[in-house]
Structure 1
Amino acid sequence: MAKASDPGIPRFYLYGDSGADVERDFLHVEAILTRSGPHGWRIQPHAHPDHAQIFLIHKGGGTVQFEDHSAEIPLPAVMVLPAGSVHQFAFQPGTDGYVVTAALGWLNAVTASDPSLREVLAQPAVLPLRDSGLHVPTVIDTFDWLLREFVWSAPGRRIAIMALYLRLLVILLRLRITTQTEDLPAAPDRDQNLLVRYRGLVEEHFRHQRAPGFYADQLAVTSARLNAACKARAGRTASDLVHDRLMLEAKRLLLYTDHGIARIGNMIGFDDPAYFSRFFAARAGCSPASWRKTQKA
């Protein structure tokens, strides 16, 4: 099976959907049949450079292939797919359950107080629930409620989602301790490791540092090496990823606050409002004011 650095491997936020989303720095939840059914129950090799996934399979079954390793999916089971891993599925028709896709930046933020919860998503795994000692209906109920909170626009939505997601991570932590199933083998991936570290630094400094050289120095690599890793694993240059993060933050502020355009530009490091507007328009195809008006129409 091809590696994620292969230029022929598609990279998606969600399988088959390459479009941008102002909430792609957050989390997405959907039923497996929603995406797998229309694709004939076969999901072709692909990767999610910036997102980790948790699956619950409680009906049907099939096989999952991660890089060069294939595994049967027992029922019921929870699966872990780390960011950047190339994977594919061959589901039995009618297979159902849930898939939860979380952005690495958001994942790092919600697990800041307990890094062990983040580490449960570091290696791919197929974890059977049967005879695990966990109460299976409770596990399924957690996924049920996470989907409900995701699709509702009720007060406290994000806090509820965060609480339920943390509960899933605790479930994974306990499953990894109680199950005898080994993790799927994960070959060392220096490009992905460098990309993850780079994104962590970008998250800290994107408002004030845009030059790839600054980040390369912090990571003790050359700018060329950093750029090569970003292209191999994210399909974008190092500069593109900083600009993408600036655009995402600008869109969030335009959509979720009433701040003026000049203030928003200043909040993300643009001292010149005109330059901020040109930067935004070159990437969004319209001015910040026009984008805000269209989104809120």
Structure 2
Amino acid sequence: MGDKAAGGIPHYYLYGDQEADVELDLLHIEPIRERSGPNDWRIRPHAHPDHMQVLLVKSGGGGIRMEDRQLPIPAPGILVVPAGVVHQIDFDPGTDGFAVTAALGCLRTASAGDPRLATAAGRPAVYPLAGTGLDIPAVIDTFHWLHREFIWSAPGRRTAILAQYMRILVVVLRLSIAHQDAGTATPDRDYDLLVRYRALLEEHFRSQRSLGFFAGELAVTPARLNAACKARSGKTASELLYERIVIEAKRYLVYTESTVAQVAHLTGFDDPAYFNRFFTQRVGISPGAFRKQAARSEG
């Protein structure tokens, strides 16, 4: 079920589901009752190394523990759980709402036009909706609309899903401004270092392969950077770097007509043969085979 991280805390990709190879543009939404009801309304301590969550609690309530803080869950309310934050939730029986789990690549895409959206989504928090000036029925409808688009296969589905997710991020941003002192968890230094490392990866993963470079930019030793990454993501700093390169390569292979050699160049490889070995070793099939497989699944 979960990948045991340091201290025995499971790392999940989607709660209760683990995939060794995570697509960074993934978004998932499900009613709270579907996951929590069968588990006695308890979500046991875990973290999502590559995903963040926004939960809407329409009715019910309970309590959530994020890192070292125990917080009550208001209804209606919004819970924000950034990637890497250890959390446990105890819902009141019958609690109704939705849990949106978005990969970091999806968050980056949705917040590209306004970096404040990503900043707000990176703040662990519990926000009551009452008294904020937000249109609560409209907020609830946004989650319902996202769920409808997620389970239907209608034209423009992917665009509609992203649009509704952007609306949710705008809600989170406005709540973060309205509740400057909302009960928020305080992630530790490992978490802070991981967040800064991920941001640095986005700038340099195509051109830098040296862990020493990233550690130097972050003003820590490579060993310190590795320890933080292992503690908070269950992966080494190098594994996170390689994972990011592979995901970018997959995007080019699936969404563009670039040749494999061009994809190699676009992801920072001078030697296409080395790129082929790098990709095959981590994905299990060659870039060309991966492209064919993806085309068959799309068809």
Short-chain TM bin: 0.7 to 0.9
How has the CA–CA distance of structure 1 residues 75 and 243 changed in structure 2, closer, same or farther, with 3 Å as cutoff? same
TM-score by length of 1: 0.87
**1:255 corresponds to which residue?**
254
Map Cα deviations across residues 65-121 of structure 1 (whole Å, 9 max, x no partner): 222322332221111122221111122333221112233344345435544333323
TM-superposed CA distance for 1:216, in Å, is 1.4
**2:7 corresponds to which residue?**
7
Map Cα deviations across residues 200-259 of structure 1 (whole Å, 9 max, x no partner): 121122122111112112222221221111111111111111111111112222222333
TM-superposed CA distance for 1:21, in Å, is 5.2
Q: Partner amino acid for 1:163?
A: A
SS at match of 1:120: helix
How has the CA–CA distance of structure 1 residues 25 and 198 changed in structure 2, closer, same or farther, with 3 Å as cutoff? farther
Does the Cα contact within 8 Å between 1:27 and 1:100 map onto a contact in 2? yes
Does the Cα contact within 8 Å between 1:117 and 1:169 map onto a contact in 2? yes
**1:285 corresponds to which residue?**
284
Q: Partner amino acid for 2:241?
A: V
Distance 1:286 1:113 in 2: 35
Distance 1:148 1:99 in 2: 14
**1:193 corresponds to which residue?**
192
Does the Cα contact within 8 Å between 1:105 and 1:200 map onto a contact in 2? no
Distance 1:192 1:238 in 2: 13
Does the Cα contact within 8 Å between 1:36 and 1:43 map onto a contact in 2? yes
Q: Partner amino acid for 1:192?
A: Y
Distance 2:273 2:6 in 1: 40
1:137 aligns with 2:113: no
Map residues 203-222 of structure 1 onto 2, 5 A cutoff. Answer: 203-222=202-221
TM-superposed CA distance for 1:8, in Å, is 0.7
SS at match of 1:64: strand
1:57 aligns with 2:51: no
**2:84 corresponds to which residue?**
84
How has the CA–CA distance of structure 1 residues 262 and 219 changed in structure 2, closer, same or farther, with 3 Å as cutoff? same
**1:39 corresponds to which residue?**
39
Q: Structure 1: state its 5+ residue gaps.
A: none
Q: Partner amino acid for 1:63?
A: G
Segment drifting more, 208-217 vs 166-175: 166-175
Distance 1:102 1:120 in 2: 14
Distance 2:90 2:230 in 1: 29
SS at match of 2:11: coil
Aligned residues: 293
SS at match of 1:195: helix
Q: Partner amino acid for 1:68?
A: D
TM-score by length of 2: 0.86
Map Cα deviations across residues 5-40 of structure 1 (whole Å, 9 max, x no partner): 743111122111120455334433222223223433
Q: Partner amino acid for 1:74?
A: P
How has the CA–CA distance of structure 1 residues 97 and 41 changed in structure 2, closer, same or farther, with 3 Å as cutoff? same
Q: Structure 2: state its 5+ residue gaps.
A: none
Segment drifting more, 127-136 vs 200-209: 127-136
How has the CA–CA distance of structure 1 residues 172 and 279 changed in structure 2, closer, same or farther, with 3 Å as cutoff? closer
Map residues 104-183 of structure 1 onto 2, 5 A cutoff. Answer: 104-178=104-178, 182-183=182-183
Does the Cα contact within 8 Å between 1:13 and 1:24 map onto a contact in 2? no
SS at match of 2:121: coil
How has the CA–CA distance of structure 1 residues 177 and 205 changed in structure 2, closer, same or farther, with 3 Å as cutoff? closer
Map Cα deviations across residues 51-75 of structure 1 (whole Å, 9 max, x no partner): 3221101133322122232233222
Does the Cα contact within 8 Å between 1:48 and 1:84 map onto a contact in 2? yes
TM-superposed CA distance for 1:295, in Å, is 3.0
Segment drifting more, 236-245 vs 77-86: 77-86
Distance 1:115 1:266 in 2: 28
How has the CA–CA distance of structure 1 residues 246 and 153 changed in structure 2, closer, same or farther, with 3 Å as cutoff? farther
- Structure 1 residue ranges (4+ consecutive) displaced by more than 6 angstroms after TM superposition: none
Segment drifting more, 256-265 vs 113-122: 113-122
Map residues 67-82 of structure 1 onto 2, 5 A cutoff. Answer: 67-82=67-82
Segment drifting more, 232-241 vs 123-132: 123-132
